[in-house]
Amino acid sequence: MIVRDVEPDDAAALCAIYNHYIEHTIVTFEEQPLHQETFARRILETTARYPWLVLEEEGNLLGYAYASEWKSRSAFRYTVESSIYLHPEAPRRRGYGRRLYEGLLTLLAREGYHQVIAAITQPNDASMALHQALGFVKAGCFHEVGYKFHRWIDVAYLELRLEKPAEGV
């Protein structure tokens, strides 16, 4: 099992993982499956500024994690939002999510980011447990801010302060 930087050729496999969550879960608020080209463009746009990692085992991509902009105002430049998705058929409780996230958090700290925000639709016990095990703490919950599959959905926000402060701060 290796954690590595995303590559353009990963787009099809990662898009398939993400489309599962779009079509079958409330984990993402997107409602229409993405085309591979759209997903590939998102990878390029995101990696121009932020890290994006994949988990590969025996040539199969089992998941990915990446950081993205939290807010566009300049004072938020040391804060990012994180996202993680595991292949729906990847075995659970094997440390895949932790391994991916630890790699991402290490890169973010090294790059000088200060705070990581995670938005987790509710209920999602597995994601809450993973984030809390990594040191994220709940900062709040927005109630009924999303509507998918004919129901209102809450979103919990968690935060993690990274150890290394941003340079110049």
Give 26-85 pLDDT, tens digit per residue.
999 999 999 999 999 999 999 999 999 999 999 999 999 999 999 999 999 999 999 999
Give dist(CA 65, CA 60) in Å, integer. 15
3-state secondary structure of 7: coil
- pLDDT by residue (tens digit) across 88-142? 999 888 899 999 999 999 999 999 999 999 999 999 999 999 999 999 999 999 9
Give dist(CA 30, CA 146) in Å, integer. 10
Q: CB within 8 A of 96, min separation 6: which ones?
A: 1, 55, 62, 63, 86, 90
3-state helix, strand, coil in the chain (%, to 5): 35, 35, 30
Q: Checking DSSP bridges between strand 79-86 and strand 115-122, what pairing results, if any?
A: parallel
3-state secondary structure of 29: coil
C-alpha separations of 17 from 2, 10, 13, 45, 152 in Å = 18, 11, 6, 19, 24
